[in-house]
Structure 1
Amino acid sequence: AFRASESGDYYLLVLVHHFVVDGMGYRLFLEALEDAYNALAAGHDVNGAEAVQRLSPWLKRLEHYANSEAPDELKHWEGIDYDQFNFRVSDASSGRTSVAEESARELHDASLKGRREDANGRSLRVDRAKYHLEIDREATASLLSIGARSANCQDFDVFLAALSGACGALFGNYSLWIDSLTSTRGRLFDDFDSSQIIGLLSELVPLSLNVTGRESRSDRARLIYRQRNALPRGGIGFRALKFLNRDPAVRRRLDRLPLPRIGVNYRARLQRHFPRRFLDTEPSPLWIGEHMHQAAAIHVFWFDVGYQSGDLQIDTTYDPSMVDYEVTRHLCTVLQQELLQTINEIRKISGHLHP
């Protein structure tokens, strides 16, 4: 704590490791800081954060799950019809080569280690380009309030429904096989509460969206919601098996499955409710999970969806060896239209049901 001058205001400088400052961990830290401040201001002693558990018990529980319960979930992943997800980018450049499947998998599996080469030491294409778009404040507010008005759909499902509609309109395929950057928190285990753990616990979770394109936009969002909730343990078991299971045969079976070519990092709801009571002005966007360039390197499209100053922000990273700027711009334009139309459709239905 310091003052810029003898009569100036006090400032508090806090240095925190990035491992602590994911969305959930930062909330716990700010709550503990606020409790301590209020206690001291009232003349009371400050209690330690006994409720905040250490990370190691959670990791041990996750490892136990990966080697005991999770192998039974393999039949779910192996039973998916992956042929339905083969979307083709019509304007892909034939003059440039894309990353080979083997090299892509090598990069995908080693992404958290920062590797940029395949098994033979050859450099992989990791250059990417981006397209940015925004959704206005009114539509954003309607999107982020959907979960409070409907028990059958969340704002993330609305975004995925719009993405399905955009890919269907451009590439003729509404069904998608995607990577979703998902927090491994929540009540995955009945015997363990992970909501009080400080630590960076996010993972890429594969998500299969089986959509025909004949549904209404609101029905498509609700269908996606049901499919997301039907995933075993929210899909965390897939990654637990891949990296924590000790049986090489289990990991080989997972490696036979195709890699998702679309990735989504959706964190708008988290950012909207981020505690700002210690801040006088709107800060720069807290792009939690933004630096996923390594993990996103094998995706044709990667969508970063965040919230800033009331507007939904969407950054689309695309693979220039597979698709060009104009195709991406067209995709994002249709995505924006689909998102607004889906929001309006659900808003009308909600208004009819809850006048």
Structure 2
Amino acid sequence: LRFSRDGLGQHTVGDDAGDGLVLHHRDLSPLGPAAQDRAMAAEIARAQRGLRPERRPLGRAVLFSLGPHRPDRLFVTVHHLVIDAVSWQVLLAELDRAHGQAASGTPVDLGPPPASFQDWAHRLAQYTADGEFDPEAAYWSRTAGRVHADLPRDLDGVAAPGDERAVTVRLGAAWTEALLRDVPQAYRTQVNDVLLAALAHVLAHWSGRGQVAIALEGHGREARALGGGLDLSGALGWFTTLFPVVLEVPGTPGWGALLKSVKEQLRAVPRRGVGYGALRHLRPGTSGGQPLPDHAEPPVSFNYLGRLTTSDASGTLFARPPGRFELFGGDRGVRTRPLDVTALVADGQLEFTWHHSAARHREETVRRLAEEVLEALRAIVRHCAGPNSGGATPSDFPLAGLEQAEVDRLVGDGRTVRDLLPLTPVQSGMLFHHLSAPDAGVYLEQVHLDVRGVPDPDALARAWQETVERTPELRAAVVWADAGRPLLAVHRHCVLPLAHHDWRALSPARQRERLRDLLAADRAAPPALDRPPLMRLALVRLSGDRVRVVWTFHHVLLDGWSVFHVLSDVMAAHAALARGEAPRLPERR
């Protein structure tokens, strides 16, 4: 790849034949460790400064041989115009795989090439030209109009080349593990939501505003936002999105209210922000396109790079590097934004780096803000570990069409309910008839059948429970939203009501009589619709390995086709348990 500038000042990417990632080898084994480190630093600086967008190559690699007492080092640098953070993981994985094949003497085969950056760029341009992002224009115009560019500042200087500074702070490993593990479960958040909530909380307190404008970076590999059909998981390139968000920091006290509010505001961003840049830069030149209005840029940017890992396993090309993953800035120009905040997890610790201009902010001010964000995250972790934490939000149940107050009433802390779903018209009709005559047994279904080859009824009971755990619909109950609208609440877990009967000592005639009584009693006490599951089971042992199964359920739960899926899964689970194996059932939706 290379970039060239056309007459309009735009850069265009070209695909030239020739060297791509140039590899140089430097044998430093005759030198001592200190001299090796100095030589590597000098060579790395030359490699980085030699990258120019207008000429190839845009990537260089240097392999340092350090002798028998130090492992070899591979340094790779690629111009940031053509590679994003996600691409580094892809690149290193492919290098590892290719090296393993070459070292074993087999031809290098990385499989069919994935969708390329060019494929994505053409799809994005065409998708934009076709007006697919046009419905988002009103949202982005409103958001842009709410952006405020001012922040408190310590100094009245003007940003100039060379005055960039960086402050780095780290959350301890134990706090980081709790943040990544416990907090997302409590409020069904992503890590990015939590980090932005803490950042917005601190910036709002510092600026004295209830709104915080942030330029948010995303990985941009949103193939579904472009109609699907592109697998970008193995693609190399610059897919990063940059779009404004204006976060309202709620006046309601409490970390739970903050997390819920920020999460919902981020979920309201259409297609994870892909359309903003497309509308702003690609749509104006097309027929009928309306550019987004110019607006002030958010004074703060934020980018969460995720968990950066390298393998420590034997047999791989790469081991954990001795240094840190860093962005080399070269000869930086003037900063266009007062604050740029980057977060990542490295070596088990969450790390924030705050880039700022020394002409605007003193280091102690930026460090104080950075430490306050860490303290906010610790407070959030402590809150989520407490007994009164947790909750869901309307975006967790997009089909239900609820407000936050209804969600709180219906699911409480959200730990027991997995989903809320509207009833189909047929289900609603069944529910209406049931409520009209609750004692008539309308739409109460009973399935009873003989199963042979069951010497242990407890194993069959475990197979049924396993099927309930794998089938969300079997864990549903009816709840009522405001205005009397019924919904199905799918619970995370529930125990299937089960009764065991042993009729082996009875005659066949007496067994038939007892079965009639059991069925009649079951129909006389239908399952309550507001408590899961809307079914129950009776297992009647008739002989040594013969069991009569009586399965009673409300028809609002299952249609006839689904009944056979459930029975098939139960039989498969029982067969696995009988062999002493763990059941492997399909995940039902």
The alpha-carbon deviation at position 259 of structure 1 amounts to: 1.2
1:144 aligned partner, one-letter code: L
User: Per the alignment, do residues 251 and 16 of structure 1 end up closer, same or farther by CA in structure 2, a change over 3 Å counting?
Assistant: farther
Would you say the 8 A contact 2:125–2:282 is kept in 1? yes
Q: Corresponding residue for 2:92?
A: 30
Would you say the 8 A contact 2:214–2:299 is kept in 1? yes
Tell me the secondary structure at the aligned position of residue 47 of structure 1.
coil
Deviations 1:152-206 (A, max 9, x none): 2111111111112112222222421111222211333323222231113223222
TM-score by length of 1: 0.74
Q: Corresponding residue for 2:195?
A: 159
C-alpha separation in 2, matches of 1:210 and 1:174: 6
Q: Corresponding residue for 1:280?
A: 319
Correspondence 1:221-240 to 2 at 5 A: 221-240=259-278
C-alpha separation in 2, matches of 1:295 and 1:251: 32
C-alpha separation in 1, matches of 2:144 and 2:78: 42
Q: Corresponding residue for 1:78?
A: 141
- Which structure would you say has the larger Rg? 2
C-alpha separation in 1, matches of 2:67 and 2:292: 66
Of 247, 268, 290, the match for 1:209: 247
Higher fraction of strand:
2
User: Per the alignment, do residues 234 and 197 of structure 1 end up closer, same or farther by CA in structure 2, a change over 3 Å counting?
Assistant: same
C-alpha separation in 1, matches of 2:290 and 2:334: 21
1:79 aligned partner, one-letter code: R
Would you say the 8 A contact 1:175–1:212 is kept in 2? no
Over aligned residue pairs, what C-alpha RMSD do you find? 3.9
Q: Corresponding residue for 1:119?
A: none
The alpha-carbon deviation at position 149 of structure 1 amounts to: 3.1
Q: Corresponding residue for 2:232?
A: 194
1:178 aligned partner, one-letter code: I
Residue 170 (str. 1) matches residue 233 (str. 2): no
Tell me the secondary structure at the aligned position of residue 254 of structure 1.
coil
How many residues in Structure 1 have an aligned counterpart in Structure 2?
323
2:213 aligned partner, one-letter code: W
Tell me the secondary structure at the aligned position of residue 69 of structure 1.
coil
Name which structure has the greater RCO, CA cutoff 8 Å, separation 6+.
1
The alpha-carbon deviation at position 146 of structure 1 amounts to: 4.6
User: Per the alignment, do residues 60 and 173 of structure 1 end up closer, same or farther by CA in structure 2, a change over 3 Å counting?
Assistant: same
The alpha-carbon deviation at position 60 of structure 1 amounts to: 0.3
The alpha-carbon deviation at position 151 of structure 1 amounts to: 6.7
> Sequence identity, in percent?
18
Residue 50 (str. 1) matches residue 112 (str. 2): yes
Residue 303 (str. 1) matches residue 359 (str. 2): no
Tell me the secondary structure at the aligned position of residue 293 of structure 2.
helix
Q: Corresponding residue for 1:181?
A: 217
C-alpha separation in 1, matches of 2:71 and 2:347: 26
Correspondence 1:1-355 to 2 at 5 A: 17-18=78-79, 22-36=84-98, 45-67=107-129, 68-80=131-143, 82-83=145-146, 88-89=151-152, 92-93=154-155, 96=156, 127-146=163-182, 149=185, 152-187=188-223, 188-189=225-226, 190-247=228-285, 253-255=292-294, 257-267=295-305, 269-271=306-308, 273-275=309-311, 277=313, 278-287=317-326, 291=329, 297-348=335-386, 349=389, 353=415
C-alpha separation in 1, matches of 2:272 and 2:66: 52
User: Per the alignment, do residues 274 and 347 of structure 1 end up closer, same or farther by CA in structure 2, a change over 3 Å counting?
Assistant: farther
Would you say the 8 A contact 1:144–1:155 is kept in 2? yes
Q: List runs of 5+ in structure 2 lacking aligned partners.
A: 1-24, 26-62, 391-412, 417-589
C-alpha separation in 1, matches of 2:346 and 2:195: 17
Higher fraction of helix:
1
Would you say the 8 A contact 1:130–1:317 is kept in 2? yes
C-alpha separation in 1, matches of 2:71 and 2:367: 47
